[in-house]
Amino acid sequence: MQILDGKALAKKIEENVSYEAKLFKQTTGRVPGLAVILVGHDPASQAYVGMKKKACDRAGFYSVTHEMPDDISQDAIIKTITMMNDNPNIDGILIQLPLPNHIDTTKILEVVTPSKDVDGFHPFNVGRLTTGLDGFVPCTPLGVMELLAEYNIDPKGKDAVIVGASNIVGKPMAALLLNANATVTVTHIFTKDLKAHTLQADILLVGAGVINLIREDMVKDDAIVIDIGINRTDDGRLVGDVDYDAVAPKTSYITPVPGGVGPMTISMLLSNTLKAAKNHANEAQ
């Protein structure tokens, strides 16, 4: 069993992005810029935004966070996004999810101009991912693919089973693995016999948000297990969706929580923002 160390890889990627950002500043006279919209006071969202801000600072990016109250109107959010779409100093716009129930999340995500959609949630970028064209890919699935590549794990021809079918993780993860020539099964809350599917997985990717959803008897020997879940226990510990202590000895590779996929998500956000900045600079020439 080998641990897939996302923390170490994320640090390496961040150092590379920081170096490239310095070169970008030398050639263009500006730095990559990221704007974040944070609505409400959800502690997890605030923590994520705080981590993203620190990562931007370390990489030498310009970053700004627009904090808005829970009861903000949809029109007010759209007005702010439109302003950032038009701001040449902003290369990436990130809408911190989830949004309050009275806000139409789909509508808000569609307002972000695709060239600044560094989270890869706009239908334009979703379509490009599905058809194998270059665009912006959601940061968490992209981070998983980078982690697999770092450890020379080629999905080609492997049976990949995804647990969870969200627009943020499950669906783009499936598209990336299909593009990498894996045979992909996507399971979700209505799947009849989850264990029957997970036992077939050469690569098992779990992002359902349920503590210890995947038990030892649900994983075949020498499987590669990617735990994308991040949950907080009653005693404050961060754990994933996989019963790590029981499952890990059976695997060939496994991600820990914390220290696996989580750090990769933020490093991919930096990478996407740098990519957006370079695209904008090329367009301006």
Q: Which tokens hold the place of 89? A: 């100093």
Q: Which tokens hold the place of 223? A: 């499987």
Cα distance between residue 232 and residue 144, in whole Å: 21
Q: Please state whether the peptide bond connecting residue 32 to the residue before it is cis, i.e. omega within 30 degrees of 0.
A: no
| Residues tagged active-site | 52, 96, 119
In sign, the C-alpha dihedral spanning 169, 171, 176, 180 is: positive
Cα distance between residue 261 and residue 178, in whole Å: 20
Q: Which of 133, 108, 130 is nearest to 176 (CA)?
A: 130
Q: Which tokens hold the place of 152? A: 């020379």
**Is 250:38 a contact under the CB 8 Å cutoff?**
no
